[in-house]
């Protein structure tokens, strides 16, 4: 599992000093700790960011809770009223422990509850005014610019692969398929520009809406009484909320699951709780068109140089390439 980010004795001392509670036991679970204290069970997590950026996240969580979406873990304040403990390379956060299981997006009951919860969260996720201004969390009206940058990066990945004296199988696939995915990226940009995107984005800015921005199944916990909690707001951003919906749709379609039935199930479930405007449809479709997965694997391989086995990169790229025919058919039929 790797070395824990804090030693047990250090943890006990920090929690006692900053929160005034005693830690009796701890258990590591997926990069967080479940800690048993004299104030009940808590979650301890290290967030690798500055305190200001961290503050944006926890204030967004509190805003959602305070405006009607109560299924967000409550952050515990320190004795001096702070929302975390600053350490050398990040912030330690203590929050309510949610006793639930991860959502299963292959189960339509879980998917319906998750989609409905997302819509309810979006009703609460507006009017947010953080105490710190973090420019890289503001995405209103910026997606054309971001997509253009990512299209340039796709070409850069291709150039890196071309420049290699010895090209491995991954490089060869990047060289073969980059132009195809680049064309999809350009199409997404053009389609986005042909919608009311900028007007809708300005409206979102006016209402100060924000998104969860990482609706992976493991960030949704379902309790025994069917409460649906959204957790891990680390990637939370200011943006138009239909971006979350587009992301949820793509998460449920990719890797061989391009089902119109499932897509419209998500769409209709969300629309029942929060109406999707006619002018938002084209924006959602354009978000879904952009080849995010292909761009991301290229970034991870050529730029970030993630320390993964070659087999991991190949497997992820192959899943993206295997999706091509199903994705094409789906995109031609969905929302037309």
Place of tokens 């350490």: 87
Q: Does one domain contain both 49 and 167? A: no
Q: What CATH number is given to the structural domain containing 200? A: 3.90.1200.10
277: Cα within 13 Å, side-chain hemisphere = 12
State both tokens at 94.
């203590």
Answer whether residue 122 is part of any domain: yes
Q: Does one domain contain both 81 and 114? A: no
Global pTM value: 0.94
Question: Which three-class secondary structure string do you get for 220-280?
Answer: EEECCCCCEEECCCCCCEECCCHHHHHHHHHHHHCCCCCCHHHHHHHHHHHHHHCCCCHHH
Q: Indicate whether 3 pLDDT > 80.
A: no
Q: Does one domain contain both 129 and 278? A: yes
Q: Does one domain contain both 139 and 272? A: yes
Single out the residue in 52, 74, 97 at which a domain terminates.
Answer: 97
Q: Does one domain contain both 140 and 74? A: no
Domain that holds residue 273: 108-333
Q: Indicate whether 1 pLDDT > 60.
A: no
Q: Does one domain contain both 185 and 271? A: yes
Q: Does one domain contain both 233 and 329? A: yes
Answer whether residue 171 is part of any domain: yes
Q: Does one domain contain both 303 and 173? A: yes
Answer whether residue 259 is part of any domain: yes
Single out the residue in 73, 97, 121 at which a domain terminates.
Answer: 97
User: Going by C-beta distance under 8 Å and a sequence separation of 6 or more, which residues neighbour residue 175?
Assistant: 158, 161, 162, 167
Which of the 8 DSSP states describes residue 217? G
Three-state DSSP class for residue 27: strand
What is the rounded distance in angstroms from the CA atom of residue 76 to the CA atom of residue 98?
13
Q: Does one domain contain both 123 and 31? A: no
What is the rounded distance in angstroms from the CA atom of residue 91 to the CA atom of residue 76?
13
Place of tokens 């320190």: 78
Answer whether residue 25 is part of any domain: yes
**φ, ψ dihedrals at 264, nearest 5°:** -70, -25
Q: Does one domain contain both 180 and 257? A: yes
Of the pLDDT bands very low, low, confident and very high (cuts 50, 70, 90), residue 2 is low
Q: Does one domain contain both 150 and 43? A: no
Q: What CATH number is given to the structural domain containing 41? A: 3.30.200.20
Which of 49-86 are b and which e, b meaning 16 or more Cβ less than 10 Å from the residue's Cβ?
bebebbbbbbbbbebbbeeebebbbebbebeeeebbbe
222 forms beta bridges with 101, 228
Q: Quick: pLDDT tens for 211-268.
A: 999 999 999 999 999 999 999 999 999 999 999 999 999 999 999 999 999 999 999 9
Mean pLDDT calculated for residue range 132-155: 95
Which of the 8 DSSP states describes residue 42? E
Residue 16 CB: number of other CB atoms within 10 A? 13
From the list 197, 175, 212, the residue with the least C-alpha distance to 294 is 175
Count the domains in the chain: 2
| Helix or strand holding residue 92 (H, E) | strand 90-96
Please answer whether residues 56 and 29 qualify as being in contact, where contact means their C-beta atoms are separated by less than 8 angstroms. no
Answer whether residue 3 is part of any domain: no
Single out the residue in 60, 76, 97 at which a domain terminates.
Answer: 97
Q: Quick: pLDDT tens for 69-95.
A: 999 999 999 999 999 999 888 999 999
């Amino acid at each position: 599992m790797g070395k824990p980010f804090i030693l047990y004795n250090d943890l006990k001392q920090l929690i006692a000093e900053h929160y005034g509670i005693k830690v009796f036991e701890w258990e590591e679970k997926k990069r967080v700790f479940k800690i048993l204290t004299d104030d009940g069970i808590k979650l301890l997590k290290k967030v690798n960011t500055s305190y200001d950026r961290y503050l944006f996240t926890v204030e967004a969580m509190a805003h959602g809770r305070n405006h009607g979406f109560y299924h967000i873990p409550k952050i515990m304040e320190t004795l001096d009223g702070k929302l975390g403990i600053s350490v050398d390379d990040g912030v330690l956060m203590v929050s309510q422990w949610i006793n639930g299981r991860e959502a299963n997006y292959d189960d339509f009951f879980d998917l319906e509850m998750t989609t409905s919860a997302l819509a309810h969260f979006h009703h609460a996720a507006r009017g947010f005014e953080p105490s710190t201004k973090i420019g890289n969390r503001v995405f209103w009206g910026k997606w054309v610019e971001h997509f253009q940058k990512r299209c340039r990066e796709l070409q850069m990945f291709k150039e890196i692969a071309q420049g290699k004296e010895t090209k491995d199988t991954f490089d060869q696939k990047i060289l073969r398929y980059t132009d195809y995915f680049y064309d999809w990226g350009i199409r997404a940009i053009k389609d986005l520009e042909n919608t009311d995107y900028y007007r809708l984005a300005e409206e979102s800015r006016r209402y100060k809406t924000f998104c969860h921005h990482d609706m992976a199944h493991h960030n949704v916990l379902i309790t025994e009484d069917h409460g649906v909690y959204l957790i891990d707001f680390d990637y939370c951003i200011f943006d138009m909320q239909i971006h979350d919906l587009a992301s949820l749709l793509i998460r449920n379609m990719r890797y061989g699951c391009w089902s119109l039935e499932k897509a419209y199930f998500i769409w209709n479930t969300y629309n029942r709780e929060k109406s999707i405007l006619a002018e938002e449809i084209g924006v959602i479709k354009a978000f879904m068109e952009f080849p995010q997965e292909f761009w991301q694997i290229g970034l991870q391989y050529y730029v970030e140089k993630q320390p993964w086995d070659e087999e991991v990169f190949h497997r992820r790229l192959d899943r993206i390439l295997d999706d091509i025919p199903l994705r094409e058919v789906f995109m031609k039929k969905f929302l037309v």
